[in-house]
Every structure is written in structure tokens, then in C-alpha cells.
């Protein structure tokens, strides 16, 4: 079924108009007295208590940042603290109805949301569960510290646990919620439904969509709330997230059990400022933020503006929106009006706003207003309130004293080998199914898949029985090998999903997924919008929730569109969480050719430069299948490079057996000798392997030089020992790949090899890459990428003169210097 909608010209050319429903603005109009029959007295007081805790906690941080002490106890906190003093009602109101199954994501200004959500979870979880969480988290490290033996209830202990865990994290202590590796802007605590907060403005938007996608695909309970600022509305990722979240297919194409809108609230915490810029009146043009929903979907994302200065108005909104979501009509957009009295950060001089404006908001400070309402309604007395405040202040002071105590709360020692960061950059686990209890949903058994059947008649090796090379169309190629690995994993891991542009009926942009459409229901394989950022960002959110995602960007040049998602999110969350989170995401990208400058660059080096990403680039069917299997059974993010030049390349290195039909793995990080030799080593990355093999043949035939050709296969991690052993034997090495030479990963490899094998080398390692140009059009593309002759030229010029060899293209030191001087 390749189409969901037939486009009839008579329909789409008809005249008419688009109409919008009115957008509700601050329609909640009940007073606390009107609400008395809907809330228990203790709940109404607890709302105030939670606001007071958030206020006291952040006021303490404000004192520390501005004055270097709290209550006379000195501390120098060098890191950030973006405070939300003034915004407490919106955080506490939002959290009030949420359970631990409801997950919130946030921004750089999320201390209040963390505490409010944590306090709400503590209230709802029973004592045994709470104690279980505290005993098991980080081996009970926080509990041991805060449990002084004094008689306190599980809930009281849990509040101290929450305050200390968050504060120790903000202060970068190893006992913090994320072992001090996240800090103020990234802290979170998943057992209470508090998911990662993000220092990149708008960064949580597509991640939250991925989290909601996880809930929808895997039928998990609860909703997801994305808390981002009003200024993030202008970010590309936010728009991509909104388009992804509202795709028609969720409600129209997915099967009965999975059909429905994503369980998501995009909540814009609207404090009317970015840092100093004003989205309304200056940097934006949308007026009332709730208006945006009307541009996104016909149901206008049920958007409305709500008064975040009144906790009861927010509770009312969350209750109504949750109902919409639970009946499958999400997602929802909220424009939550609030105001921060504190600066963007404590050093902010507030030069961008009038003092009178701050005063106006302070005069109706929601903490005070709500407290006055409680007193006026007779819910409590001022003595009750004073006692409550004293208890709150004591708790904050207790957690402050503990968190700044270097003995009780040390920082991680990152100097020794095997330190916290060394052991959490990658999780390095092997997990075949992320939900072994569940059976993977397949539309037909693997053996009955039409492509699997077609492949049965193909040779699994590119070499025939008599050693002859078989025609490509008759053999299993790289694209088939990848398909086999992927289908095999779909049959094992029920959480595995794949998506990207043209992933379903088209069969993947380059045919790798042909046959998958027949095998998988929509919710496991679907077309995404052309939103590269959201493709990766949602995969991050999906993985953070416990699933495994395989996503694709057609050309690796499009990585630029997903820059933040790949370089700051996919790569960093495992280590920023102190190892609390896993990131089983495989990102397939292909290196193009024939399509010119914006479709043909090899960006392996850019990915390899970012800590936290595994990077592979197989060049044979055998390696492609084995590495894909490893990537899809691992728990780390893998950027999986493929080359469009060689998708139909057959297997030439594994004898008559060729590519095994069943499951096998190739460990990520181990290079492979593709041709043995004794005189010269050639190390290649990606499709250049085949050009290096041609060069090796010529060297043997015409110059009697025996070249050993090593295929890197992986880039990060990378085991140098195999290469060093080869160099010990040959004494010389040339490195070649299709990436532009300047800043190429080959330069790093060459430098490492020189450092580690200097005594064995007769000549410095030589790098042969593409020119430092744009990729020219197909017809003249060969002048850009390295070919056999470029490898021979480099050997002749820099390694050893080849008798009688005539250099094809100037590459002498003078020319090298000239090109460097000119930056080309």
C-alpha cells in the first residue's frame, strides 16, 4: 500500500478558506474557595510546601552565586545556576497530577521542575517503592549519607534524598544524581520520572517527541511533557519536533493497537524573555505563543495559554490535556505564562528590563498570593505556615551542608585510568533484546520474506567455484548483507524501530530496506518528515526511554542538519548521566558520489572528533553484516557509514562460503588485513579499500613490492595493534580514504602510528585523501577523490621511489606547501 491519500485535482484545486477555532487564553477563573470540594486540605497545603521548597532551594543557590555563602556558610560554586525564582507555581502545578510514569524533559532552567516533579512522585509512591529506589540508586550511596538514623518517615527521607541528589549534582559531586557529570543544566532522576534537562535551547523538543514515540510504540503508560522556554520557539529543532510529533500517520496509518497521537505536551514555559531578547516585540513575531498550534495541525494541537502564576490553573490545564492525550488525540501545546524575578543567571544585571516590570510581578508573587489564599480560606493558620517554612529551610540547609562537604560529597577523580568518565563514555554492553518479555511484532516470518527468498538463489560469495569473479547481480552485496542483519534484529528485539526519509515503501533511499515494508508494521518502520534533526533527536529520546532505534540520514552531508542532535545529544547523554543512561541508537549515513558538492563528502572525521560516538565504515558485505549486528546488539550510539559507490559490492575475502546467512558479529574497533604483504602497509577507510587493492596489485606486478592492505572497518574505537604489527614488518605506511585530507581522521591515525612505531618506520606515514575542495560534478569527480594513481604517486614521492614511475599528478613537497598556504 504505497499511498495513504490519493490527490485528486478536483479536490485540491477547489476554492474555499481555512478557518481556525478560537484559541483559549487564561480561561481558568475559579478561586481557591471554588476549588475546595475538588482538593483535600493536605493537597492544597502541599502545593504551597512544594513551591516553598523550590523557592528556598533556588534562593540558597542565588545567595551562593551572588555572595559566596548561604546562611554564613561559605561556598564557591563555579558552575552555572539558571534560576527560576518566580516561576515555582508553573512547575508545581504541572507536577501535581503526574505519576512517576509520566516523564518530564526540560531545559537549562529546570531546578524547579526537577524538585516539583520529584516531590510529586514522592507523594504518590508507596514507602516500600521509595525505599527500594533509594537503596538501589547508585548502590544506595545517597541514602547512606542522608539517613542519619533519626526517626523519619520514608517520604521525609525521600525529600532529603531529592534535595541532596539534585544539589550534589549541581555542585558536581560524585554522589549527585548523575555522579556530578551533568551539573545544573542536565540533572535528572528517572525513577521519579524526571528525564534529562538540556543546556541547548530547544534541545529537549525532539528528544521528548522520541520519548513519547517510545510510549506509543511500546504501549507504555504515562505521558511526556517537554518543558522548554518561550525563546526556544524560534529554534529549528522545535519546529522539526512539532512536525514530527503531529504526523498524520500516527492517527491514520498505524494499526489499531498503536494508532493515536503521541502522548506529549509541548509546554512552553513562557517567561517572556530569552536571555535578554524578547520573543514578543523583538525577536519573534507570533504574539501569543499559543497561536503556533494553529499552524501545526487541524486540531491546533489543542493549544491554549494558561496562567502559570496560579498553580490551580495549571493543574486544571494538565488534567484537561491529559484526558485529550489518553483518548489518543494528542499531542498538545501549552503556553504557560510565568515570570522570573531572578536574572537569566545570577550575574545578570537585568539591563534589558525595567525594574518597575519586575516589581509588578513581584507584587503578585504566586508564592505569597497562594499562601494568602490558603490563609483567607481558613485552610491553615499563619503558625502552620511558619512551621512549614521552618521545616523547608532546615531541609535546604541540611542538604547544602552535606553537598558542600568534600569528605561526605567528594568529586569524581578523573585522573586515574578507568575513571568515571573513562568507564561511562560508552556502556559497551551486549543486549540482544531490550524487552525480552515481549515477542517482536513481524508481519511475516523471516523465512517467508520475499527478499530473503530472492537472496536464497544468490551466491553468498563474489568468487565462483573455480575462483572466477561472479557478476554482481548474482551475488549477495553490501545492501543485501545490511538488510539481512537488520531484519534478523527486528525478529529478536521488539523495541527496535527504524525510520528516516523514504524508509518504508521506497525501501530506504538506496534499497537497503527493500523487503522490510512487507515484514514490519508501520510503528516499527516508517517514513519520517524531512527533519534530519528530529530524526536523530527522536531516536535519542526513544533510546533514553529504553528502546533501540535505527535511523537513517540519506547522505552524510545532511549530518549538518542534525548537528546538535548528533554532536551534543546522541554522543553525550551516556557520560553526562554518569552512566545511568544507555544510548542504543544506530545512525546510518551514506557517503555519496555523483551528486556534487552537497551530497558527496565523507564526514567520518567530524563524527570521530566528537567523544561518545562509535564510528564504523565497512567496505565488504561480510563486514557490513557483522558490524551491523554488533551495532544493533550494543548499547552505544554508532554512526554507521556506508558508501553509495559500493552498495552492490560482492564478498571477495571470505572464500566460497562468503557471507554467512545466519547471525554473526564483528567486534567494533578491530581492523582487518584484506591482503597480506611484507614491504609496505596501506591502511584504508571505507570504499577506498578497492582502489588500494588495485594499487597493491600494480606494486607487486610492476615493482615487486609486496603491499599489505588493512581495512580499518571501524574508526572509533580503533585497535592500533594490528596496524603497528604490520608496520613493524613493512617499515612504511600509506593511509587512504575518500575524506578531504585536511583534518581527516587519517591524520590522527598517521600521527598515532608515528608516535607508537617510530623506531620501526623507514619513512613518515603518508596520508592520501580527497582534495580540500568541494566535490566537483560527477563528470570530473575523479579529480577529487583519491585513485590508484594518487596512492602510487604518494608512495613514489614520499615513501620510496618506484623505478621508472612517472608521477601522474604534482604532489611534491613544494606543491603541498603551496596548497597549505592557500588553504586548498
Ligand X SMILES: Cc1ncc(C[n+]2csc(CCOP(=O)(O)OP(=O)(O)O)c2C)c(N)n1
Nearest alpha-carbon partner for 313 in 334, 290, 327, 294: 334
Interface characters, 114-133, with ligand X (x: CB under 6 A): --------------------
- With respect to Mg ion, which residue has the nearer C-beta, 256 or 354? 354
Edge to edge, what strands does the sheet with 638-643 contain?
A: 525-527, 497-500, 549-553, 585-591, 638-643, 614-616, 714-716
Q: Is 73 in the site for ligand X (CB under 6 A)?
A: no
Query: What gap in Å lies between CA 419 and CA 578, rounded to an integer?
Result: 11
Q: Is 232 in the site for ligand X (CB under 6 A)?
A: yes
CB of 689 to ligand X, least distance (A): 39
CB of 667 to ligand X, least distance (A): 36
Out of Mg ion, ligand X, none, which partner does residue 573 contact, by CB within 5 to 8 A per kind?
none
3-state secondary structure 473-506: HHECEHHHHHHHHHHHHHCCCCCCEEEECCCCCC
Handedness of CA 375, 379, 384, 389 (dihedral sign): negative
CB of 700 to ligand X, least distance (A): 54
Q: Is 106 in the site for ligand X (CB under 6 A)?
A: no
Q: Is 658 in the site for ligand X (CB under 6 A)?
A: no
Contact set for ligand X, span 342-371 (CB under 6 A): 344
From 195-203, 253-261, 643-651, 781-789, give the range in contact with ligand X by CB under 6 A.
195-203
Contact 392, 146 (CB under 8 A): no
Query: What gap in Å lies between CA 140 and CA 796, rounded to an integer?
Result: 63
- With respect to ligand X, which residue has the nearer C-beta, 205 or 775? 205
- With respect to ligand X, which residue has the nearer C-beta, 344 or 674? 344
Query: What gap in Å lies between CA 513 and CA 590, rounded to an integer?
Result: 14
- With respect to ligand X, which residue has the nearer C-beta, 200 or 294? 200
Out of ligand X, Mg ion, none, which partner does residue 88 contact, by CB within 5 to 8 A per kind?
none
Q: Is 643 in the site for Mg ion (CB under 5 A)?
A: no
- Residue from 87, 204, 208, 271 touching Mg ion (CB under 5 A): that is 271
3-state secondary structure 448-476: HCHHHHHHHCCECCCECCCCCECCHHHEC
Catalytic residues: 599
- Residue position matching grid coordinates 554467512: 660
CB of 598 to Mg ion, least distance (A): 35
Degrees (nearest 5) of the Cα angle 32, 103, 571?
A: 140
Query: What gap in Å lies between CA 574 and CA 778, rounded to an integer?
Result: 41
Q: Is 568 in the site for ligand X (CB under 6 A)?
A: no
- With respect to Mg ion, which residue has the nearer C-beta, 198 or 604? 198
Query: What gap in Å lies between CA 494 and CA 441, rounded to an integer?
Result: 6
Q: Is 257 in the site for ligand X (CB under 6 A)?
A: no
- With respect to Mg ion, which residue has the nearer C-beta, 82 or 523? 82
Return the SS3 of 588. strand
Burial class (CB in 10 A: 0-12, 13-18, 19+), 63: middle
Query: What gap in Å lies between CA 607 and CA 626, rounded to an integer?
Result: 21
Nearest alpha-carbon partner for 689 in 742, 622, 743, 625: 622
Query: What gap in Å lies between CA 392 and CA 163, rounded to an integer?
Result: 11
Total Cβ atoms within 10 A of residue 805: 15
Backbone angles phi, psi at 307, to 5 degrees: -85, 100
Interface characters, 428-467, with ligand X (x: CB under 6 A): ----------------------------------------
Alpha-carbon distances, residue 11 vs 5, 16, 253, 590, 769 (angstroms)? 12, 11, 21, 39, 54
CB of 447 to Mg ion, least distance (A): 56
Q: Is 199 in the site for ligand X (CB under 6 A)?
A: yes
CB of 573 to ligand X, least distance (A): 16
Contact set for Mg ion, span 203-262 (CB under 5 A): 229-231
Instruction: State which residue has the least CB distance to ligand X.
Output: 229
Residues near ligand X (CB under 6 A), total: 15
Grid coordinates of 672: 582487518
Q: Is 109 in the site for ligand X (CB under 6 A)?
A: yes
CB of 269 to Mg ion, least distance (A): 7
Query: What gap in Å lies between CA 167 and CA 180, rounded to an integer?
Result: 10
For residue 652, the surrounding DSSP H or E stretch is none
CB of 816 to ligand X, least distance (A): 38
From 4-12, 101-109, 680-688, 777-785, give the range in contact with ligand X by CB under 6 A.
101-109
Burial class (CB in 10 A: 0-12, 13-18, 19+), 338: buried
- With respect to Mg ion, which residue has the nearer C-beta, 54 or 551? 54
From 273-281, 528-536, 661-669, 745-753, give the range in contact with Mg ion by CB under 5 A.
273-281
From 41-49, 227-235, 377-385, 618-626, give the range in contact with ligand X by CB under 6 A.
227-235
- With respect to ligand X, which residue has the nearer C-beta, 549 or 566? 566
Degrees (nearest 5) of the Cα angle 13, 15, 20?
A: 115
CB of 350 to ligand X, least distance (A): 13
From 93-101, 267-275, 434-442, 509-517, give the range in contact with Mg ion by CB under 5 A.
267-275
Total Cβ atoms within 10 A of residue 411: 16
CB of 314 to ligand X, least distance (A): 16
Give the distance, in angstroms, between the CA of residue 645 and the centroid of all CA atoms in the same chain.
29
Out of ligand X, Mg ion, none, which partner does residue 371 contact, by CB within 5 to 8 A per kind?
none
- With respect to ligand X, which residue has the nearer C-beta, 340 or 645? 340
Out of ligand X, Mg ion, none, which partner does residue 215 contact, by CB within 5 to 8 A per kind?
none
Contact 749, 604 (CB under 8 A): no
Q: Is 590 in the site for Mg ion (CB under 5 A)?
A: no
Nearest alpha-carbon partner for 195 in 213, 218, 175, 178: 178
- Residue from 60, 85, 231, 333 touching ligand X (CB under 6 A): that is 231
Interface characters, 262-301, with ligand X (x: CB under 6 A): ---------x-xxx--------------------------
Burial class (CB in 10 A: 0-12, 13-18, 19+), 47: buried
- With respect to ligand X, which residue has the nearer C-beta, 270 or 650? 270
Q: Is 201 in the site for ligand X (CB under 6 A)?
A: yes
- Residue from 48, 65, 103, 108 touching ligand X (CB under 6 A): that is 108
Q: Is 561 in the site for ligand X (CB under 6 A)?
A: no
- With respect to ligand X, which residue has the nearer C-beta, 307 or 651? 307
Contact residues for ligand X, defined by CB under 6 A = 107-109, 199-201, 229-232, 271, 273-275, 344
Contact residues for Mg ion, defined by CB under 5 A = 229-231, 271, 273
Amino acid at each position: 500500500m504505497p499511498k495513504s491519500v490519493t490527490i485528486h485535482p478536483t479536490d485540491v484545486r477547489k476554492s474555499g478558506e481555512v478557518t481556525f477555532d478560537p484559541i483559549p487564553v487564561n480561561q481558568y477563573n475559579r478561586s481557591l474557595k471554588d476549588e475546595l470540594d475538588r482538593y483535600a486540605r493536605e493537597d492544597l497545603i502541599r502545593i504551597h510546601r512544594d513551591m516553598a521548597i523550590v523557592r528556598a532551594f533556588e534562593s540558597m543557590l542565588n545567595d551562593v552565586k551572588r555572595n559566596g555563602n548561604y546562611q554564613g556558610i561559605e561556598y564557591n560554586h563555579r558552575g552555572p545556576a539558571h534560576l527560576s525564582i518566580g516561576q515555582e507555581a508553573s512547575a508545581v502545578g504541572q507536577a501535581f497530577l503526574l505519576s512517576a510514569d509520566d516523564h518530564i524533559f526540560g531545559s537549562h532552567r529546570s531546578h524547579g521542575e526537577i524538585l516539583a516533579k520529584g516531590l510529586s512522585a514522592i507523594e504518590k509512591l508507596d514507602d516500600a517503592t521509595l525505599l527500594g529506589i533509594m537503596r538501589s540508586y547508585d548502590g544506595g550511596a545517597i541514602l547512606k549519607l542522608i539517613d542519619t538514623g533519626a526517626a523519619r518517615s520514608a517520604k521525609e527521607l525521600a525529600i532529603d534524598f531529592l534535595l541532596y541528589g539534585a544539589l550534589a549534582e549541581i555542585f558536581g559531586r560524585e554522589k549527585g544524581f548523575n555522579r556530578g557529570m551533568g551539573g545544573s543544566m542536565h540533572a535528572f532522576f528517572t525513577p521519579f520520572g524526571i528525564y534529562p534537562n538540556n543546556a541547548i535551547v530547544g534541545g529537549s523538543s525532539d528528544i521528548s517527541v522520541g520519548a513519547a514515540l517510545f510510549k506509543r510504540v511500546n504501549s507504555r503508560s504515562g505521558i511526556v511533557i517537554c518543558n522548554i522556554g518561550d525563546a526556544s520557539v524560534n529554534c529549528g529543532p522545535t519546529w522539526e519536533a512539532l512536525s514530527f510529533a503531529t504526523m498524520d500517520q500516527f492517527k491514520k496509518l498505524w494499526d489499531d493497537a498503536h494508532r493515536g497521537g503521541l502522548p506529549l505536551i509541548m509546554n512552553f514555559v513562557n517567561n517572556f524573555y530569552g536571555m535578554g531578547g524578547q520573543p514578543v516585540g523583538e525577536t519573534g513575531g507570533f504574539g501569543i505563543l499559543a497561536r503556533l498550534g494553529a499552524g501545526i495541525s487541524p486540531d491546533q494541537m489543542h493549544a491554549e495559554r494558561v496562567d502559570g502564576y496560579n498553580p490551580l490553573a495549571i493543574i486544571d490545564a494538565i488534567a484537561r490535556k491529559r484526558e485529550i492525550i489518553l483518548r489518543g488525540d494528542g499531542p498538545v501545546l501549552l503556553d504557560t505564562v510565568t515570570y522570573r524575578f531572578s536574572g537569566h543567571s545570577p550575574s545578570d544585571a537585568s539591563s534589558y528590563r525595567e525594574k518597575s516590570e519586575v516589581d509588578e510581578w513581584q507584587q503578585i508573587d504566586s508564592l505569597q498570593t497562594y499562601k494568602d489564599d490558603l490563609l483567607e480560606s481558613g485552610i491553615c493558620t499563619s503558625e502552620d505556615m511558619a512551621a512549614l517554612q521552618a521545616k523547608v529551610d532546615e531541609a535546604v540547609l541540611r542538604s547544602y551542608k552535606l553537598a558542600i562537604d568534600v569528605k561526605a560529597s567528594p568529586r569524581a577523580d578523573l585522573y586515574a585510568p578507568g575513571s568515571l568518565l573513562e568507564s561511562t563514555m560508552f556502556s559497551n554492553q551486549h543486549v540482544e533484546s531490550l524487552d525480552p518479555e515481549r515477542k517482536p511484532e513481524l508481519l511475516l516470518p523471516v523465512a517467508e520474506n520475499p527478499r530473503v527468498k530472492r537472496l536464497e538463489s544468490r551466491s553468498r560469495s563474489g568468487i565462483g567455484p573455480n575462483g572466477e569473479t561472479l557478476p554482481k547481480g548474482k551475488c549477495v552485496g553490501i545492501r543485501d548483507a545490511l538488510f539481512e542483519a537488520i531484519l534478523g534484529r527486528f525478529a529478536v528485539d521488539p523495541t527496535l524501530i527504524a525510520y528516516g526519509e523514504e524508509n518504508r515503501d521506497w525501501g530506504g533511499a538506496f534499497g537497503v530496506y527493500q523487503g522490510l515494508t512487507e515484514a514490519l508494521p508501520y510503528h516499527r518502520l516508517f517514513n519520517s518528515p524531512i527533519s534530519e534533526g528530529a530524526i536523530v533527536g527522536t531516536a535519542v529520546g526513544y533510546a533514553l526511554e529504553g528502546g533501540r532505534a535505527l535511523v537513517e540520514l540519506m547522505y552524510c552531508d545532511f549530518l549538518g542538519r542534525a548537528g546538535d542532535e548528533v554532536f551534543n545529544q546522541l554522543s553525550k547523554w551516556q557520560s553526562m548521566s554518569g552512566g545511568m543512561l544507555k544510548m542504543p541508537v544506530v545512525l546510518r549515513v551514506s557517503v555519496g558520489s555523483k551528486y556534487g558538492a552537497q551530497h558527496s563528502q565523507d564526514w567520518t572525521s567530524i563524527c570521530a572528533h566528537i567523544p561518545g560516538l562509535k564510528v564504523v565504515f565497512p567496505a565488504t558485505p561480510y563486514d557490513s553484516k557483522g558490524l551491523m549486528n554488533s551495532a544493533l546488539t550494543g548499547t552505544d550510539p554508532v554512526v554507521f557509514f556506508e558508501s553509495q559507490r559500493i552498495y552492490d559490492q560482492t564478498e571477495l575475502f571470505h572464500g566460497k562460503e562468503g557471507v554467512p546467512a545466519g547471525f554473526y558479529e564483528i567486534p567494533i574497533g578491530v581492523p582487518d588485513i584484506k591482503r597480506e604483504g611484507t614491504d609496505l602497509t596501506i591502511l584504508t577507510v571505507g570504499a577506498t579499500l578497492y582502489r588500494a587493492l588495485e594499487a597493491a596489485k600494480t606494486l607487486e606486478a610492476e615493482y615487486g613490492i609486496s603491499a599489505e592492505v588493512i581495512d580499518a572497518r571501524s574508526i572509533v574505537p580503533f585497535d592500533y595493534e594490528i596496524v603497528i604489527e604490520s608496520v613493524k614488518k613493512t617499515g612504511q605506511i600509506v593511509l587512504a580514504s575518500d575524506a578531504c585530507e585536511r583534518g581527516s581522521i587519517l591524520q590522527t591515525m598517521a600521527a598515532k602510528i608515528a608516535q607508537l612505531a617510530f623506531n620501526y618506520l623507514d619513512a613518515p606515514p603518508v596520508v592520501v585523501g580527497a582534495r580540500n575542495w568541494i566535490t566537483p560534478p560527477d563528470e570530473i569527480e575523479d579529480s577529487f577523490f583519491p585513485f590508484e594513481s594518487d596512492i602510487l604517486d604518494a608512495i613514489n614521492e614520499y615513501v620510496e621511489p618506484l623505478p621508472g614511475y612517472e608521477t601522474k599528478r604534482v604532489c611534491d613537497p613544494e606543491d603541498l606547501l603551496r596548497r597549505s598556504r592557500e588553504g586548498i
